[in-house]
Amino acid sequence: MNDLVIDIKNLSRRFGDKQALQDVTLRVPRGGVFGLIGSNGAGKTTLIKHVLGSHYAQSGSVSVFGFDPVADPVEVLGRIGYMSEDREVPGWMRVQEVIDFTRAFYPGWDSGYASELLELFELDPKQKTRSLSRGQTARVCLLLALAHRPELLVLDEPSSGLDPVIRRDILTAIVRTTADEGRTVLFSSHLLDEVQRLADRVAILNCGRIILSDELDTVLDSFHRVTLRFDGSSDLAPSLVGAIESKGHGHEWTYVYRGDREQLIRAAKSLNAQIVHEVPLSLDDIFVCNVQRS
């Protein structure tokens, strides 16, 4: 991973007595879609704000395109398209005025693409932004983040406020197209089906710590729910190497297992157990199981 767009090392952040981020190390390679997953208050927005240089690193370091976003905002911010969780736009402007205003900051603004998005999102350029619905405001924000075709698109909870059609079809298409063009998308979400649909890589944040970070396929391949049948009956789950959760009774025990299949077969054999059922875990299950454990 030589070509890193974001390289965060041992980042910690405290607000008063609240530890919002703790020793976070995160690498986002160029190209592809990176999904940042976490429960409410896990630290997703705080992490994103460090990427944008809105927060300085109290300890550790943050590098975006090889620059420190606090020390070199000009090198960094012009190359990022950002949709904030708050979806803030000046209420006294009309949609077209917000677009013109934002365009002035970006030499690479693509007016043709902005017009296409305006139509795709069914926005009226003459409408005052104050009178837009929450979903329409989200569409304006998405347009503003996209129309200068940024090298890095940062979306904080992009689905929040968007209806299912925009979310499932249009957002998916936009995110995938951005990645297919060799650009990078970092988005935060607690909608696990969405992350599973969109992301190439994922990281799980829990209480300010990264508890898992890898390619999505690797994550999905490494967790299984497996039921073993043992010769002897037991009141306690027989200890299976790689198991992170267990339940059952007597001869049959079901485990959440982390590891590859070969290892599982070897581990079962060493216990004289038969694998009677095995299913991969969804990202949702993997998230819950890892958060509970940590």
Q: Which residues of the shown chain bind ligand ATP in the complex (CB under 6 A)?
A: 15, 18, 20, 38, 40-46, 85, 190
Burial (CB count within 10 angstroms: exposed 0-12, middle 13-18, buried 19+), residue 275: middle
For residue 184, give both structure tokens. 């990078």
Question: What's the closest the beta carbon of residue 43 comes to ligand ATP, in angstroms?
Answer: 4
Please state the φ and ψ torsions of residue 50, each to the nearest 5 degrees: -70, -35
In contact, 184 and 28? CB cutoff 8 Å:
yes
3-class secondary-structure state, position 103 = helix
CB of 45 to ligand ATP, least distance (A): 3
Query: Measured from the CB atom, is 45 or 102 closer to ligand ATP?
Result: 45
| Least Cβ distance, residue 86 to ligand ATP (angstroms) | 10
Q: Which is nearer to ligand ATP, 48 or 174 (CB)?
A: 48
Q: Estimate the crossing angle of helix 134-146 against helix 95-103, to 10 degrees.
A: 20
Query: C-beta of 28: minimal distance to ligand ATP in Å?
Result: 17
Which residues make Cβ contacts (< 8 Å) with residue 239, sequence separation at least 6? none
- The token pair at 85 is 């969780």
Taking the least distance from each CB to ligand ATP, the nearer of 18 and 249 is 18
CA distance linking residue 242 with residue 129, whole number of Å: 54
Nearer to ligand ATP, 102 or 206 (CB): 206
Q: Which lies closer to ligand ATP via its Cβ, residue 43 or residue 81? A: 43
Find the shortest distance in angstroms from Cβ 183 to ligand ATP.
23
Query: Within its chain, how far is the Cα of 22 from the centroid?
Result: 18
With beta carbons less than 8 A apart as the criterion, state whether 106 and 133 touch.
Answer: no
Task: Tell me whether residue 14 or residue 269 sits nearer to ligand ATP (CB atom).
Answer: 14
Nearest-approach distance from CB 209 to ligand ATP, in angstroms: 12
Indicate the Cα dihedral angle 171, 173, 175, 181, nearest 10°. -160
